[in-house]
Every structure is written in structure tokens, then in C-alpha cells.
Amino acid sequence: MKFTDVYLQTATKILVFIIMTFSIYVLFAGHNNPGGGFIGGLITASALILLYIAFDLQSVRDIIPVDFKKLAATGVLIALLTGVASLVLNVPFLSQAYTYVDLPFLGKTELATAMIFDLGVYLAVLGTTMTIITSISEDDI
Amino acid sequence: MSTLHLAILLPFVFVIIIPLLYKYTTAIHTGWIALIVPVVLFVYFASYFSIYDAIEPITVSVPWIPSIDIHFTLYLDSLSLLFALLITGIGSLVVLYSIFYLSKDRERLHLFYAYLMLFMGAMLGSVLSDNLLVLYTFWELTSVSSFLLIAYWYQRQRSRYGAQKAMYITMTGGFSMLLGFIILYVASGTFSIREIIAMGDTVSTHYLFIPAMFFILLGAFTKSAQFPFHIWLPDAMEAPTPISAYLHSATMVKAGVYLVARMTPIFGAQLEWSWTIIIVGIVTLFWGSFNALKQYDLKALLAYSTISQLGLIMSLLGVGSMGMNVKFENESLVFMGAFLAAIFHLINHSVFKGSLFMMVGILDHETGTRDIRKLGGIMHLMPISFTLTMIGAFSMAGLPPFSGFISKEMFFTSMLTLSENNSSWVNIIPIVAWVASIFTFIYCMIIIFKSFSGTYHANLLERVPHEAPVGMLASPATLSILAIALFLFPGLVVTSILEPTVKGMAPNVFAKHPDWHAHITAWHGLNLELFMTIGLIIIGILLFLSIEKWKTPIFSLISKRYNLNQVYDKGMINLEKFGSKVTRSYMTGSTTHYLTYIFCFLIITVLGSLLITNSFYLDMSNDSPIEWYEFVLGIATVAAAIFVLFSKSRLMSIMGIGVIGFTVSLFFVIFRAPDLALTQLVVETISTTLFLLCFYFLPKLKTSITSLKFKLTNAIIALGVGTTLTLIGLSAYGHRIFVPIAGYFNNSYQLAGAKNIVNSILVDFRAFDTMLEIVVLFSAGIGIYTLIKLRHAGRND
């Protein structure tokens, strides 16, 4: 019979949301405050690893049915496509632009194409880290 | 593109045509197709020839790579015409002969004739080119085609060995020659031989002029099988006999002679040139004729005889060039006789040696052996072959009434001239030349009498000898007639070839003596040369009759000690051994060693250049003050690093590295780099985890806990690298020349709408780097995934 680690699992259920929220904050705050896609991706990955430690591999995979390799590839692709998009608009590769818009509830908000690029970085880092860790942990020696 | 260019390109066209036609013309011997080329070319070149007048030199040019002064320039004067006639004339006879010599059914004839045409074109190009680099191109093509032809029967080990040896030696000379040509270009500014000759005085003042001369001579000597580079020629006798007759007696080995003759107007006035050629030529003459006596294989005998005769021609060219030196201004015309003799003997040698090789081929073909110990007593069975061989051999021995007689008399005259006009020790040269002529006489007698007279050993021969077919005899017969004709009517070539060639070789001399005319006669009165000939015939006959008594003891004594082939073979083996030894000494397969080389190289180059240029610079004035917490962190980092070095277990080392990583992230905090600190913290955590993972799965067998072994060399190298990089860092820091561009990024909020400068640099200003970095990260992830997942699949192989 397997021992169930009630303390760890209960704490994890709360902590994962806090860590996730923090990582998303870090990602979006990156433009104006310390943070960004790279560190955001690593923090999200750490939340997922906490899940893996508290529960077993199979359960986590059932909850989050994501192929991390594809996620990483998607991230790289997004980053590349933001560059290509600037080519379509006849400006040099990877030119970034920003503008301010008034959104309901949020007020005056800055929208920058660099954000989309950072999102690509975030997904690539998250996907790669998880690919490495899951493939090592699933390996049986 | 003139007809002369087309003439040179014709053989190359046939290189392509012959293999194509070979498939569809199975009924006829491919040689008949190939015969078209030399005959057409011979007729073409013969149209320039007239026995009463010299041709006006013709220059035609087609630009090839004009930007670096390479033009496909052809220059046809008497010397080139002579060579062109020899190449095409003897080429026609050789192709005719090979039609009867090579079997249509058993041999791959398309290859044979394609290689032969390649050679013919290359040789024509060599002798007609005026541009040094074009000459070099054709020169190497002759080496390559000769290599292919020697190894024509590539299934034989000896053929491959001979081809390789010839290739190595002639290629070495070729490269050296190229070096000489390049120096000439640097000295003169042109690749054209004509133009270099025209500016002779300025070229000869260049400080590399004498080295260039030796580099070019090395090329000529290797190609013409001069001592000590003659060793490839006897081994090249593994080639089919028509090839030996054509390449290795009449044409290719004379390329070196051609080069020396061509370069004489440039270098001839230097005494170094004359003496080098004379001494090398005389040594080759002597050594070749002496070694020829030893041979039992007729082809090997002829190979050494070729070497010896080429040495004779070379030494004559050297003697002639003495007349160009200012020292011998008054006797210059006497020396010119040597040039005359050289060119005349060049013609003679091609004629009789070609014929002799063909006769040896016939003997081989009809009896099945070339060994003189098995041959004998077939004079009455093959009377025509006997007659033709005798004409060739007597001509080579220098007997009347054959052309060799005249050239040998002229040779003696030249050698006596040389000794008369120099200090007394030079007297040895005519004596050596005379002794070598005795040897020549003896081996010529061996060729005739050991193979045709004596007792007939029917049981030793593979087949019953009978007279060769007419087609096979036609070529040597033609050459034999020529050998007699040149004796009776030497005027055939005097005014057309010899005189203008000699005048062209020493233009400065003949500028002072415009009314000089070449004169050759068979009878030149009772003089010392004639008595020398009579003496050598008498001594030669006596020695030939007693050959069995002195041959074995002398050669068993000498050949074991002075064997250049052994020097070559051992040299090649030792070179290989040395090469593999050197390679093995540093390519150990140990990563430690390779890292040692890399770090040592780093220390030597970087620290060395820092010390040599004396660019170490220490300036502390602009540095910020150091706070106490920076001290604390610094000490912690250093302590952790030392701890890693001296810790006994790996787990401790991993922990130590972790400590270093976290203190570094604290440094980032202190130095106000929050993004770096965050990232460093997380990355350090992950890498420490991965280290622990590796540690956990170490094989149980080798986990004995030991501290790092101390090695002095490693410690020194580590200290060296540390010192080097510290010094570089300090020097670079204290020596800022440019204002950093960081000021530009202060505007990140205006330019990119971002208050975080680091992030805006990463995703906006320099996003290209970031994009490639995530590609790197992604590749690493996929790499790890494949390594782990596909490992088992790999094991099944």
C-alpha cells in the first residue's frame, strides 16, 4: 500500500496556484519591471514540478494533457513568426512596435509586439524544461 | 585561337573521342583511330620545317586568366619545333608499333590510347608554352599521364610500385619548379619566358635569383632522371614497351632537357648553373652507364642507358652555358660547340633509343623473355631484328657509320674544351666521360651479342622465336634509317634546327658574333677525340670479352653498399613510421591531453602576446570603492571554489558548486541586476538538481571516494590560465577607449515602450539573439529527449 502524503498534496494544491499566478505576473510585468519570458517560464515549470513531486507522473499527465515538446516548438515558432510578420510589413526582421489603447476595465494599456515575442520565449522555456525533466524522470534504468 | 592552339588541343579531343568510339568499332584495332592524331600533327609541324632555313619564331596568344597574367601563349621556334617533331614523329611510330604489340582482345585499348593522347597533348603543350604557369600545367599533366601509363597493368604489384615512385619523384620536382617560376614572376613581373629573357639583367639582380635557379633545376633533374633522382626510371619499365619507348626514352625524360635549354638564356651566364648541370650530368652519365652493365633485364639495361645518355646531354648543356659567362668571353664560340652537340645528341638519342626499346619489345614478344641469360643464338632466326638492334646499339655506342658517332666526338670535344679552359682538377671530367663511354660501349655490345649470338637455349624460351611481323618492324626500321641518314647527311638538321636553337640559347654571345654558322661533319680529321674513340673501342672489346671474370665481384661489392633504391624505400617507410609516431605521440585519445594543448596554447599566445607587446595596463583610479558585503561575498565564493577543489566526495563538490552559483546570484543582487539574479537562482537550482541526478546514477563499481589527484602540470596550467585571464581582464578594464553604448538603451521607454531596459534589450533591441537562444534551448531539450528515448532502440542494432 502506498503512503499518501496529505500535507504535501494539500499544500501543493494551494501553492501551485500562487506560483502560477506569480509566474504569469512575472511574464507580463517583464516589460516594465524585473521579469520576462525566460524567468516566467522557469517559474511555471517549477510549479509543475511541484505537482510531479506531490502526485505521480500519470496523474499529472491526466490533469495537464500537454505534449511539452510541441509546446516548446510552438514557442519557438511564435518567436520566429513575430519576426516574419515584420518582414511582411516591409520593415527589418524582428522590428517591434508598441501602442497605447484604452481598454474597458483596464484603462490606458500598453500593447507591444515584444510581448508576443516574450510569450514565445515563455512557451519555449517552459516546454523545454518540462521536456528535459519528464524525459529524465520517466526513464527507467 | 590559332591553328597552333588547335594542334595542341587535338590530342585532348581524342582523349574523349577514343573511349567513345571504342565501343562501336570493335572490328578494328583502336590504335588506327589514335594514329590519326600524331600523323596529322607531324605533317602539320613538318610544314614549318625546312632543311635550308630556320623558321621565323611564331607567337600566338589566347587569354586564359588575364587578370593574373596567365595567357595560353604558344611560341614556336626551332627548339620547340624540334621537340614537337620528335613528339609527333616518334609518337606516330610508337602508335603504329603498339597496334601490333598490344592484343586487341586482351587489353583495354581505349584506356591505353586515351592516356597516350593525354600525354601527347601535355607534352606538346609543355614544349610550346611561353607562359610559365601554362608550361607548369602541361608539365604536371605529363606526370599524371605517365603515372597512368606506367600502372597500365594495374593488377601487377610492381607496376603500381613503379607508378607511385615515378609520381612522387616527378611531382616533388614539379612543385619545386613551380616555386622557382613564382620567384621568377616576382623578380620580373611577368610569366612570359620571352619577356623574362628580354629583361635578363634586372631579373638576375633579384636576391632570390639563385634559389629560383636551383628550384627550377630540381624540377628538370627529377623529370629527366638525373642523379640521384634517376631511381624512378628503371622501375617505370613496368609500363608496356611502347610506353617505355615513347615516354621513358624519347620524349618525357627529355622535358627536363628542354626546360634547361629553354631557361639557359635566363640563367646560363651564372657559373652556379653551369657547374651544377655539368657535375650532375657527368655523375649521372657515369653512374647510369656503370649500373647498366649490371642488368640482366634488357629493359632495365636500356633504362640505365637512358639515364646515362640524359646525363651526357645535360652536361653538354652545362658546358655550353659556360661560354655565356663573362669570364670566358674570348672562348665563348668554342663553348657553343657543346650546345650544338647537346641538341644533336638529343635528336640522335631519341632516334636510336626509341628503336632499341621497340626491338627489345619485339624480342620479348617473340621469345617470351627479356632476360639476357635466357636469350642467345637467335641471330639466324630473327635476322632483321638483329640488324636493326645492331644499328641502334652501335649508334648508341658511338661507332661509325651511325649518327651516335658524330655526337660522341662532339661530346669529347666539348669536354676537352671545358678542361682546357679551367683549372687543372677539371681534367678529371673528360677522363670520367671517357670511362663512362667505355661502359656505354660494353653494354651496347651486351645488348647485341648476349641476346643474339652465342648458344641457343630452346628449353629456356617460352615459344619458338621467329621474325616479327612487318608492321612491328616498320617503326624501328624507320628510326634505324634515320640513324644512318643523320650520319651521312647531318646537314639535314644543322641549318634548320641546330643553328637557330644554339643562337637562341645564347643570344648575348651571338649578338657579338653574327656571322657564326654551325658546322657538323662525320669526318673531322685525325685528332685527340678520334684516338679517344679508338682507345675506348679497344679497351671496350677487351673488357667485354672478359666480362664474366670481373662483373660479379665488382657489382657484389658495390651494389650492396651504394643502393639508392634502398634509400628511397627505407626513406618512405621511415617517413611513414615517423608520421604515425608523431601523430600517435599527441593524438592520444585522452581528453585531458587535448585540453592541456588547448590551454597551453591559450597561455602561450595570449600571455605571450601580452608580454611581447608589453600591453599590460593597470589603472585603479576609475574603480568603485569596495563595500564590506562585497568582501564577504567574494571570500565566500573563493572559499567555496577552494572547497570544491579539495573536497573528498563528489556530493560535496556539487554542493560547493551550488554555493558558488547562489553567491553569484547574490552578486547580481548587489550589482543591481534583478533579472539576472532571478534567472541565476532558478537555473542554478535546476543544474544542481541535474548534477545530483548524475551523481545518484554513478556506476556502483567505481564509486570509491577519492579526493582529486594532485598533478603539478595541471596546477601550473590552471594557474597560468587564471593569471592570463585575470591580466587580460585588468588590462582591458583599465584601458577603456570607447564610451559604452549603454547610454542609448536608457531611452528604452521612448524607443520600445519598456521601462525594463534588460528586457527591452532582450526582446526588442537585440531580439535576434534571444530568438536563436531559445532555438538552442529547444535543440538541447530535443537532444536530451532523443538521447534518453532512442537509447534502447540503438542497442538493438
Question: Closest partner residue to A76 among B690, B697, B774, by Cβ?
Answer: B774
Supply the pLDDT for residue B54: 77
- Contact: A31, B759; criterion CB under 8 Å: yes
* Residues A117 and B761: beta-carbon distance below 8 Å: no
Model confidence band, residue B559 (pLDDT cutoffs 50, 70, 90): low
Supply the pLDDT for residue B195: 87
Q: Tell me which of A19, A39, A48 to substitute to probe the interface with B (most B C-beta atoms closer than 10 Å).
A: A39
CB neighbourhood size of B96 (10 A): 23
Rg (CA), chain B: 38
The verdict on B694 touching A (C-beta cutoff 8 Å) is no
Q: Tell me which of B764, B768, B774, B776 to substitute to probe the interface with A (most A C-beta atoms closer than 10 Å).
A: B774
Q: What is the DSSP string of B756-769?
A: -HHHHIIIIITHHH
* Residues B257 and B219: beta-carbon distance below 8 Å: no
* Residues B273 and B259: beta-carbon distance below 8 Å: no
Give the Cα separation of B172 and B191 in Å (integer). 21
Give the Cα separation of B624 and A106 in Å (integer). 44
Q: Is the dihedral of CA B611, B612, B614, B620 positive or negative?
A: negative
Comparing B55-64, B254-263, B655-664, the range with the smallest average pLDDT is: B55-64
Give the Cα separation of A50 and A48 in Å (integer). 5
Supply the pLDDT for residue B657: 92
Question: Closest partner residue to B770 among A69, A121, A128, by Cβ?
Answer: A121
- Average pLDDT of the residues in A43-54: 89
Q: For A128, which residue in chain B has the nearest alpha carbon? A: B781
Phi, psi of B330 (to 5 degrees): -75, -30
Q: Tell me which of B693, B777, B784 to substitute to probe the interface with A (most A C-beta atoms closer than 10 Å).
A: B777
Phi, psi of A107 (to 5 degrees): 75, -150
Say yes or no to pLDDT of B254 above 50: yes
- Contact: A131, B788; criterion CB under 8 Å: no
Q: What stretches of B56-208 show up as alpha helix (H) in DSSP?
A: 78-101, 109-128, 132-150, 157-188, 193-198, 200-203
User: For B100-153, how does the pLDDT look when each residue is reduced to its tens digit (9 = 90+)?
Assistant: 888 877 888 888 899 999 999 999 999 999 999 999 999 999 999 999 999 998
Share of chain B above pLDDT 70, in %: 96
Q: What is the DSSP letter of A140?
A: -
Supply the pLDDT for residue B172: 92
Supply the pLDDT for residue A1: 41
| Shortest Cα–Cα distance, A13 to chain B (Å) | 21
Say yes or no to pLDDT of B633 above 70: yes
Is the pLDDT higher at A82 or at B697? Answer: A82
Cell matching residue B528: 685527340
Beta bridge partners of A103: A107
Q: What is the DSSP letter of B74?
A: E
> Considering only CA atoms, which of A106, A131, A104 is closest in space to residue A48?
A131
Q: Is the dihedral of CA B350, B352, B355, B357 positive or negative?
A: negative
Beta bridge partners of A110: A100
Give the Cα separation of B261 and B253 in Å (integer). 14
CB neighbourhood size of A66 (10 A): 13
Contacts of B755 in chain A (CB under 8 A): 31-33
Contacts of B683 in chain A (CB under 8 A): 42
How many residues are listed for chain A in this entry? 141
Say yes or no to pLDDT of B174 above 90: yes
* Residues B210 and B272: beta-carbon distance below 8 Å: yes
Question: Closest partner residue to B675 among A34, A69, A73, by Cβ?
Answer: A34
The verdict on B414 touching A (C-beta cutoff 8 Å) is no
* Residues B348 and B316: beta-carbon distance below 8 Å: no
Model confidence band, residue B464 (pLDDT cutoffs 50, 70, 90): confident
| Shortest Cα–Cα distance, B149 to chain A (Å) | 60
Beta bridge partners of A98: A112
The verdict on B781 touching A (C-beta cutoff 8 Å) is yes
> Which residues are CB-contacts of B131 (< 8 A; sequence separation ≥ 6)?
B70, B71, B72, B73, B191, B192, B193
Model confidence band, residue B312 (pLDDT cutoffs 50, 70, 90): very high
Q: Tell me which of A46, A67, A94, A129 to substitute to probe the interface with B (most B C-beta atoms closer than 10 Å).
A: A94
Can you say how many angstroms the Cα of residue B215 is from the centroid of all Cα atoms in its chain? 12
Give the Cα separation of B50 and B285 in Å (integer). 33
Say yes or no to pLDDT of A141 above 60: no
Supply the pLDDT for residue B641: 92
Q: For A75, which residue in chain B has the nearest alpha carbon? A: B774
Give the Cα separation of B261 and B321 in Å (integer). 9
User: Taking an 8 Å Cβ-Cβ cutoff, which residues of chain A contact chain B?
Assistant: 26, 30-39, 42-43, 46, 69, 72-73, 75-76, 79-80, 83, 93-94, 96, 98, 110, 112, 114, 117-118, 120-121, 124-125, 127-129, 131-132, 135-136, 139, 141
- Average pLDDT of the residues in A98-119: 77
Q: Hunting for cell 666521360 — which residue is that?
A: B433
Cell matching residue B676: 539576472
Q: Hunting for cell 674544351 — which residue is that?
A: B417
Model confidence band, residue A60 (pLDDT cutoffs 50, 70, 90): confident
| Shortest Cα–Cα distance, B696 to chain A (Å) | 11
Question: Closest partner residue to B774 among A79, A94, A132, by Cβ?
Answer: A79
Give the Cα separation of B752 and B763 in Å (integer). 10
The verdict on B676 touching A (C-beta cutoff 8 Å) is no
Supply the pLDDT for residue B795: 54
Model confidence band, residue B706 (pLDDT cutoffs 50, 70, 90): low
Q: What stretches of A89-141 show up as alpha helix (H) in DSSP?
A: 113-138
Comparing B301-305, B438-442, B462-466, B742-746, the range with the smallest average pLDDT is: B462-466
Spell B207-226 as b/e; 16+ CB within 10 A means b.
eebeebbbbbbbbbbbbbbb
Query: Residue B626, exposed/middle/buried by CB under 10 A (0-12, 13-18, 19+)?
Result: exposed
**The amino acid at B474:** A
Question: Closest partner residue to A141 among B697, B767, B774, by Cβ?
Answer: B697
Is the pLDDT higher at B12 or at B792? Answer: B12
The verdict on B759 touching A (C-beta cutoff 8 Å) is yes
Question: Closest partner residue to B778 among A42, A72, A114, by Cβ?
Answer: A72
> Which residues are CB-contacts of B761 (< 8 A; sequence separation ≥ 6)?
B745, B748
HSE, CB side, 13 Å, CA atoms: give it for residue B632: 5
For all residues of chain B together, what is the average pLDDT?
Answer: 85
- Contact: B782, A131; criterion CB under 8 Å: yes
Cβ contacts below 8 Å, chain A against chain B, sum to 125
